[in-house]
Amino acid sequence: MTATVVRRILFPAALSLAAIGCFPAASGVSPGATTLRVALWAGGYELEIEQQVADRYEALRPGTRVLLESAPNGYEERLLTSIAAGHPPDVYLLDSPDIPTFVDRGLAVDLAPYQTALNFRADRIFPQVLEAFRRGRSLFALPKDFTPMVIYANRAVLAGAGIGGGAGAEADAWADGWTWEEFRRAARSATTDRDGDGRPDVYGFDFPRNLFQWVPFVWSAGGDILAPGGDRAAGYLDGPAALSAYAFLTELADEGLTPGAQFVQQADPGREARFASGGQAFLLSGHWTLPVFRDLVRAGALDLAILPIPHHASQPGATSVLYASGWAVPPNAANLRQAIDLAGFLASPEAQRIRARSGLAIPTRVDVAAEIAAADPTGVEDAFVALAERARMTWGATVRDFSRVERLAVEIMDRRLLIGEPLEVSAAEVARRVDEVLAR
């Protein structure tokens, strides 16, 4: 009996299951459809918005399916592995610090010849963003969005500290520029111990440990971290302007105007909550933080001001840093021309308008950004666009293996704060090691 059951029922069932497992699952797409795979790092609501963009493209190109392959964590690893394995996505999102890694290795198609076919108007793109994806006349990605690093100010905290005569009115005066000393005074006034336990309950700022955060302070002191060609650090990373920026930032920490640094690349997970709840007066961040605060601003629980990076007194103004991303196509994409077409759509004004709903970054089209800013009654978008005009692209967009430079550069201030090493010594030693990396 058992043998019969096995032979007549279980065995054929197992065989059928195995056979079913060997065939691909049926999808809702017609058999002749082309599937275009898009690699990106969106998550949550942002991914929903990107899906809306993909749906729109599918509606415009019947018979084409767009598959979003998102990896919010480990994106670069996944992308590089897929390219190395000969199975790249058709379109991928290229972050500005990754441009040399991909472009110098020939992993992105030159899209310049297709600008007319894609109706891509280069003259409508913020020029400093477009330039990051260009090499000569070639264009290796169609810009998606971007953000400058800015200072968010909590007006309520400033008013509570009596800065500018209440209501944080001083913040409006700083919108056109402010010096390090003004920033330090404001941070000092804001840092208070309300309950008298000897520990501040409100901080002025949080320590910008990573290079992507502090590089605008060096620029705003009239210096730089690398020579103009991006091939040398000595004399720049340890130059007078850079040293003055390190000294200014570490003094803020020494004075107790910032909570203790965590000495990791990941940002302090509590910093945004601390800022929004009135525990911190100033926050250094990009546009990506704005959606976190938007509901609070609408509910009247948070009064924001968007300010430029403070600058050294010797300088007329600040220069912030820009981070951008763009849509690139690998040369060995399975459907090259369709992939180029999709990249064109993903960077189009229509897609940028849909994407602007997520509010994570500024659209790269000047006209779309202006529309978004005009529709924003808080003036925050306008402020971001204005500050972007005075910002420059990260060195990572032009220097290969810049992640190694970033890893080394954090040591400069770490060593000062952790073991008390003079900044001149640590900066010179780090600059020497950076030069070794750049020479390879």
Partner 1 sequence: MSGAGATNAAGAAGVTPLVATGAAAAATAVILLVAADALSGAREQATREEARAAASLYEVPGVTEADVVSLLDGRARIVAPEAGGSGPGAFAYRAGALQPAAWIAVEPADEGNGWPWAAFVLALLGVLCMAAWAAARRRAPPPSRYPAAATLLCAALFALVAAAAQQWAHGELGAVSSARLARGLRAAGIAGAAGADPEAAARVAGLPWASGAALGEPDRIWTMPREAGEAIAADPQLRSAPRYTVVAGGATYHGGAVALREGPAGRAETPAGTLHLVFLGYEETSSPTVALIASAIGSALVVSLVLFLLPLAARPRALARTLAAWGFLAPAAALLLVFTFGPLLFSLWISLHDWRLVDPAHPFVGLENYRALLSDGGWWSAILNTGVFTLHVPAAMAVALALALLTRESRRAVRWARLALFLPSVTSVVAIAVVWKWLLNDGYGLANRALGAIGIGPVAWLTSPDVALVSLMVIGVWMVVGYQMVVFQAGLAAIPRVWYDAAKVDGAGPWQRFRHITLPGLRHTLFFVLVTSVIGSFQVFSLVYVMTEGGPLGATDVAVYHIYREAWEFLRFGNAAAMSWILFGVVFAATWLHFRLLERRGAHA
Give me 309's structure tokens: 């990076």
Output the CA torsion sign for 321, 327, 330, 331: negative
Q: Tell me how far, at minimum, the Cβ of 28 lies from partner 1, in Å.
A: 25
> In the complex, what is the shortest distance from the CB of residue 419 to partner 1, in angstroms, rounded to a whole number?
7
Spatial distance between the Cα atoms of 429 and 427, rounded to a whole number of angstroms? 5
List helix spans (H) across 198-319.
211-219, 240-254, 271-276, 290-298
- Find the shortest distance in angstroms from Cβ 126 to partner 1: 22
Residues 6+ apart with CB under 8 A from 18: none
DSSP secondary structure string, 16-63?
A: HHHHHHHSPPP-SS-TTPEEEEEEE---THHHHHHHHHHHHHHHHSTT
**What's the closest the beta carbon of residue 221 comes to partner 1, in angstroms?**
25
Give whole-number Cα distances, 108 to 97, 231, 278, 296, in Å: 15, 23, 45, 41
Shortest distance in whole angstroms from residue 117 CB to partner 1: 5
Question: Cβ atoms within 10 A of the Cβ of 89, count?
Answer: 24
The binding site for partner 1 (CB under 8 A) comprises: 76-77, 80-81, 83-84, 101, 103-107, 110, 113-118, 135-138, 229, 231, 259-266, 270, 337, 340-341, 401, 403-404, 407, 411, 414-415, 418-419
Encoded tokens for 10: 């279980």
Give the nearer residue to partner 1 in terms of CB position, either 15 or 264: 264
Burial of 387 (0-12, 13-18, 19+ CB in 10 A): buried
26 burial (CB, 10 Å; 0-12 / 13-18 / 19+) is exposed
Q: Which is nearer to partner 1, 138 or 378 (CB)?
A: 138
Closest to partner 1 by CB, 366 vs 437, is 437
CB of 130 to partner 1, least distance (A): 16
Judged by beta carbon, residue 24 or residue 86, the one nearer partner 1 is 86
d(CA 148, CA 150): 6
Minimum gap (Å) between residue 176 Cβ and partner 1: 34
